[in-house]
Structure formats: structure tokens, C-alpha cells
Amino acid sequence: MSTTMPSATGQTVAALRGLILHGLLLILLVLFGTGLSLLLSAALQGFSSEGDLYFELATAISFTIIAGPLAWLLWRAVRGRLIHASPTDAAIWSLQGTAVYLIALITASTSLLQLLAGLVLDQPWFTWQSPLGTAIAWSLVGIWQYRLLHSPTYRPTELPHLAATLGNAYALLLAAWTASIAVSTAGELLLKTDDMLIGPSPIPRMLAAVIWAVGATALWFWHWKVQRVQQVDDAFGSLVLVLAGVCLPALASLLAAAAALNILIPLPWEAAALTARFVENGPLTVAVLLVATATWIYHQAQLTTRPAWALLAARQVVSGIALALLASGLGMVVNALLAAISSPLNSGTAPSVLRTGLGLLLVGVAAWWWFFRPLAPADPESRRIYLVLFFGFSAVVALIALLVIAYRVVEFLLGGTGLNVTMVDYIRGPVGWLVATAAVATYHFVLWRSDREKLHAKAPETDSPVVRSATAAPAGRTVMVVVPAGSDRLLSALQQHGEVRVHWIPAAGPELSAEALDLALETIGERLHHEPGAVLAVVNAPGEVRFTALAGPAESAT
């Protein structure tokens, strides 16, 4: 006790010390970056800012001269400990370095892109000094931190790829988002030209969007290929790939597909309304659909080089997303139908709700069918977490829907609405959610029940074969067959025998002939037919069988 206690405390103290030192380093570096960027911006403006120059300069200089040297001293103090760092220290170092790197990366990249985009946009309040100063200062901080995280001396042994993985995810999402906007702006440019009365030319806007998209894509490419994030196949890397590369793009593409259906479904049956919807929402919908689907397909293909769980997890999350869309769509369709029957005054809202609902429902059903594969046999074990999460989520939705319905019914009966609406109209929204949740939950409850039965039936088979079977068999009787290897035909034939649990104990000796196996099968079958209870069957070379009756579970327990 006297030896373990101090070492445990010592470890805690060491971890706490690492946490505090690296936490301080993080704060100092962020302060230094902020001060340096303010200082550079002020210097680029020739110290003649229109704003509060003294405030800016005082902040900039104090942050730079206090935080900078202190950060340097602190780094010199901690760096010795990083060379043969304990796993805890290494992990803390990686987390701190990643935090600094990400802050610097995000600030520097957005400032630089804002600067380049601002140059083509020609906006009156745009100044190039401030974004340039910010970009330079944070690039310096980010590059310094990145080099340390990848230097052979200080490279963290734990979570070594954290910074690159998260930087890659950021760049990917920024690239996808800005590329969607660029494509969407190009689409608007094609669609809307004749009805402009005055305004700036939309070309600079599109150029700015293209600059953002190209810059972000270059950043992503640098992380993905040059920094080899593509080859990082540790668990965290795969998880981030599944979330940022597959699930978010999948969500965006499915929503965009639903929005596209919302435009295309002809309710009401008017070409003019359809055109108006397309002009208003078409460009963004098409852009997101294109970019998100391309991102999704690319990363889905990348998953084949990852551990099997990554592919399964991606499939389950996507089918969960599809299910959520399906249920939302179903709820909206119910809502719209209730609206249609309750009052003729809803003629305006009902079609738009119905269109949105149908779009979500169709996309949800299609994606769910494809990814959940309701008809294919599934491994019950693999989807237990999915089902448990699903029940939790639907319970919350159902509870909220019930509360809203109850509240509104009471409010309606007490006459507190002050509106001239029918009761059905007043509660149709939450009734839609409730019906959708109940329908989807019922289906999954049936699935859950059948999975549980399968799991129960399966569980004993996975136990170690010989020792546990006699006591653990819940149904049927045990037949232990002692026979040389190569007798699979006999064993599988016995397994067809209904209510029989076959265990094979390999015997020494050559393989049995086909006739011998047939004879043995016949003999054992006859015995099983005539006598109940567990049995040990020893098969010899000519196919003759010697039986020993075994004690059943009840007898062996006494």
C-alpha cells in the first residue's frame, strides 16, 4: 500500500501538471496570435486607423510582448518532458497542439480567402490590411505549431494524427460548402438576368465564391493527399471520415434530393408555380445535390480500405438519417391531409406542406430501403445499439408530440386560442409527428423482438463446445459424436434432426469412408428416434457406433 499510493498520486499530479502547463501554453499562444494579428494590421494601415487607434495598439502590443515571450519560455520548459513523454503527457500535448493548429488554420484560411474574395468584390467598407495581418500572424502560429507536432523530436506518441485529421475535416466541410455556393451562384447567374433593374454585376460574386471554393479545396487536398490523412486508418481517423466524409454529405444530399422533389412534385398542377419554385430554390438545391453527392460517393468508396466497423457504422448512421427524413415526411403528409379535410381555408398551406412531406417521405423511403435493407438477413448483434438509440429518440419525439397535443386540446377547450380555427386544425401538426413516430416505432419494435429471439437462440452456440453444452442447453438434447476429422457430412446430417444439439469431439485416426458414415448416421438416427436423453456416440472405422447415455441437466445438477 505504501508503494502504490504515492505512485498513483504522483501520476495524477503529473497528469494535472501537464494539463495545466499545456492549457496555459494554449492560452498564451492564442493571445499571442491575436496580438500579433492586431499589430500587423495596424502596421499595414500605417498606424492611422480610423477606429480607436490607442485601444487597438495597446491591446496589440500588450498581448504580443506579454504572451509571446511567456509562451516561448513555457514551451522551452515543457519541451524537455515531451521527448520521452508518458502516454498521458503525449495525449495532452497532442490535444493542445491540435487546438492551436485548428484555431490558427481556421482564422488564417478564412482571413486569406476573405482577402482574395474582397479584392474581386469591390465593397466600400473592405480593407485589405486587417485580413492580411490576421492571415500572416495566424499562419506563422499555425505553421510553427504544425512543424512541432510533426518534428521527429517532439512528435506526440499518442494521437499523432489528431491535428491533421481534424484539419482535414474542417477543410473538407469548408470546401463542400463553398463549392455548393459557387455552383449555386453560377446557376442564379444563368437563371436571373432579365428582371434586374439595377445592381452590381453578379460576376464578382461568383468569382468570390469560386475563390473560396478553390482555396478550401486546395487546403483539403493538402491535408488529404500531401499530409496523407487518406492513409491514417486509426479508429479516430475512421470515425472522423465516417462523420465528416459520409454522414454529413449524406444528410445534405438527401435533404437536397427532397428539396428537388419539393420543386418537381406538381401540386398544385400549374407550370408557372413550378417554374417559380425552380427559379427560387433550384440553383442551391442542384448545387448541394451535386457537391454533397460527389463528396459522399468519394468517401464511401474510401471506406473500403478502413476497418469493417467503419462501413457498418456509416451504413447505420445513413439509414438512421433516412429514417428520420421518412418519419418527418410521414408526419407532414398526415398534417397536410388533416389540413385538407378540416377546413377549406388551408388550400394555400396544404399543398406546400404535402409537397415537402412527400419529398422527404419518398427520399427517406428510398434511402432507408437501400441502406437498412429491411428484407436482407441482418446480424442482430450489429444493430442492437442502433435500435436502442432509435427507441430513445422516438420516445422523446412521442412525448413532446403528446405534450403539445394535450396542451393545445386543453387550450382549445378553455377557449384560449383567440383564433377562429377548428380543433383538428389546431393539433394537426403534433398529430402528424405522433402518427409518424408510432408507425416507425411499431415496425422497429417488431424487428427488435425478432432480433432478441434470434439472439437467444444463438447465444449458447457461441459457448465453448464440449464443456458447457450439457448444462447450458435450454432445449433439445445433446448428442456428442466422437469421430475422426472429415466427417462433416455426418455432423450436418445429424443437425437436421430437429431438437438435437450436436457436438463434435475429434477422434484420432484416418477419415471414414462414405459407407461407414452412412451406416453411423443410420445407427445414431435410430437411437435418437427410440431413446430420449443426451447421448455420447463413439464411431469407429467401419462405421459401428457405441453409445453411452449422458446425464441430463436436471440430473447433473443434483
Partner 1 sequence: MRPTATLRDPSTPSGVVQRYLVAFQAQDIDTARQYVSDGEDRELCDMGGPRNDLQITLVREVQSEDTSTVTVEISYDYSGFMSLDGYSYPDYFELKRAGDTWLIEAMPWEVGMCTDEEMGY
CB-CB contact of 520 with 512 (8 Å): yes
Closest distance between partner 1 and the C-beta of residue 195, in Å? 4
Give helix 53-79 / helix 4-44 axis angle, nearest 10°.
150
CB-CB contact of 14 with 86 (8 Å): yes
In terms of CB distance, is 292 or 427 closer to partner 1?
A: 292
User: Would you count residue 178 as binding partner 1 (CB under 8 A)?
Assistant: yes
**Which window, 7-15, 41-49, 118-126, 458-466, contacts partner 1 (CB under 8 A)?**
118-126
User: Would you count residue 199 as binding partner 1 (CB under 8 A)?
Assistant: yes
In terms of CB distance, is 163 or 216 closer to partner 1?
A: 216
Q: Residue 200 region, left (φ>0) first, then alpha (ψ -120 to 50), else beta?
A: beta
In this chain, which of 130, 139, 185, 285 binds partner 1, going by CB under 8 A?
185
Give helix 162-191 / helix 203-221 axis angle, nearest 10°.
160
C-alpha span between 274 and 268 (Å, rounded): 9
CB-CB contact of 268 with 351 (8 Å): yes
Closest distance between partner 1 and the C-beta of residue 118, in Å? 6
Closest distance between partner 1 and the C-beta of residue 60, in Å? 23
Site string for partner 1, 120-159 (x = CB under 8 A): -xxxxxx---------------------------------
C-alpha span between 392 and 475 (Å, rounded): 34
User: Would you count residue 502 as binding partner 1 (CB under 8 A)?
Assistant: no
Task: For the chain, report the end-to-end CA distance as a whole number of angstroms.
Answer: 44
Closest distance between partner 1 and the C-beta of residue 7, in Å? 50
User: Would you count residue 181 as binding partner 1 (CB under 8 A)?
Assistant: yes
In terms of CB distance, is 182 or 321 closer to partner 1?
A: 182
User: Would you count residue 50 as binding partner 1 (CB under 8 A)?
Assistant: no
- Contacting partner 1 within 85-114 (CB under 8 A): 110, 114
Closest distance between partner 1 and the C-beta of residue 184, in Å? 9
Cis peptide before 268 (omega within 30 of 0): yes
CB-CB contact of 516 with 489 (8 Å): no
* 14, 170, 201, 259, 537 from 305: Cα distances, Å: 38, 22, 47, 33, 47
Closest distance between partner 1 and the C-beta of residue 209, in Å? 6
Closest distance between partner 1 and the C-beta of residue 179, in Å? 12
Closest distance between partner 1 and the C-beta of residue 419, in Å? 26
In this chain, which of 147, 192, 452, 456 binds partner 1, going by CB under 8 A?
192
CB-CB contact of 104 with 134 (8 Å): no
In terms of CB distance, is 124 or 152 closer to partner 1?
A: 124
User: Would you count residue 200 as binding partner 1 (CB under 8 A)?
Assistant: yes
R_g of the chain, CA atoms, integer Å: 34
C-alpha span between 379 and 306 (Å, rounded): 20
Closest distance between partner 1 and the C-beta of residue 35, in Å? 22
User: Would you count residue 557 as binding partner 1 (CB under 8 A)?
Assistant: no
CB-CB contact of 142 with 101 (8 Å): yes
Q: Which residues pair with 501 in a beta bridge?
A: 478
User: Would you count residue 176 as binding partner 1 (CB under 8 A)?
Assistant: no
Retrieve residue 198's grid coordinates.
Answer: 439595377
Per rule CB under 8 A, count of chain residues that contact partner 1: 28
- Contacting partner 1 within 204-233 (CB under 8 A): 205, 208-209, 212
User: Would you count residue 195 as binding partner 1 (CB under 8 A)?
Assistant: yes
Closest distance between partner 1 and the C-beta of residue 174, in Å? 10
Q: Which helix H or strand E contains 537, and what residues bound it?
A: strand 535-539
In terms of CB distance, is 23 or 118 closer to partner 1?
A: 118
Cβ atoms within 10 Å of 191's Cβ, excluding its own: 14
HSE-CB at 491 with a 13 A cutoff on CA atoms is: 17
- Write out the residues near partner 1 by the rule CB under 8 A: 110, 114, 117-118, 121-126, 178, 181, 185, 192-202, 205, 208-209, 212
